[in-house]
Amino acid sequence: MKKTLLTLLAAPLLAGCSLNRTAARVTGGVIDEGISSVFAQSDPQYAREALPGNLQLMEILIANDPGNKGLLVNAAQGFCGYAFMFLEDGAPERASGFYLKGQAYAERALGGRGPAEARKKDVPALFWHTFCKASYVNINRDKPEAIAEIPSIEPAALRLLELEPSYYYNGAQSVMGAYYSIRPRMLGGDPDKARAYFAAAASGAGADFLLNRYMAARMYAPAALDEEFFTATLEAVLAAELRDDDARLANEVAKIKAKTLLEEKDELF
């Protein structure tokens, strides 16, 4: 009798959980299908104002469906992308928090698998986990705990190059370029390798993704004291014609960042 009563009492709760999870998956599917439209925006200010609400919605959905890998990856991309595009330059502390949150979501999507265990289907989660970590380290190079994470970036990026080198506009190539730029020379930093990786990032699938070129100017050029490359690369970003595609928002942001960075040239060289 007691078992029957408990079952009857629990049934509405279980049904409610199931309905919430189902709703989360349906809405998550809509987000997964529509996220490309966000990154196709040509108005960075509009995207900056709209994205926080979408990020909050994703977190609500994840709370109702915590094992939804698609939602976890989209949240990781959203938090990391928002931090990189809109917070890093003016609010590095907020950006750091967003990077850590994005990294945590990507880690959950990986399900405990490290780079060596990652499979091709893990590429999106592994990439955003690595991108978030590298970006966090880059803006926190004065913190020992951030510096301690540098060695873990290389094996993850190399694994991505094995599994799917063209993922996210040759993103792993750009991460490797940043890796060799961030590391001090005495600890394995190598501007020549950084430049080669950035050149690879800006070819093929990443040829029209201007953030790859911006990152080369921002990361490699100061490390190598290559002022000529710095100036020529940023001027090329500013002169590039943009297309209405899934990279439009990132390319618009690249132009804004390139203009700001070019104005800081005298402080960097």
Ordered mean pLDDT values, 10 residues apiece, the chain (269 residues): 49 54 54 67 93 93 94 96 96 98 98 96 98 97 94 97 98 97 90 97 97 98 96 98 94 98 95
Find out whether 183 and 151 touch, Cβ atoms under 8 Å: no
How far apart CA 263 and CA 255 sit, in angstroms, is 13
The number of residues making up the chain comes to 269
Give the model's pLDDT for residue 123.
98
Give the model's pLDDT for residue 28.
47
How far apart CA 165 and CA 143 sit, in angstroms, is 31
Give the model's pLDDT for residue 16.
54
Residue 149's φ and ψ, nearest 5 degrees, are: -85, -15
Give the model's pLDDT for residue 5.
45
| Threshold 0.85, pTM exceeds | yes
How far apart CA 75 and CA 27 sit, in angstroms, is 13
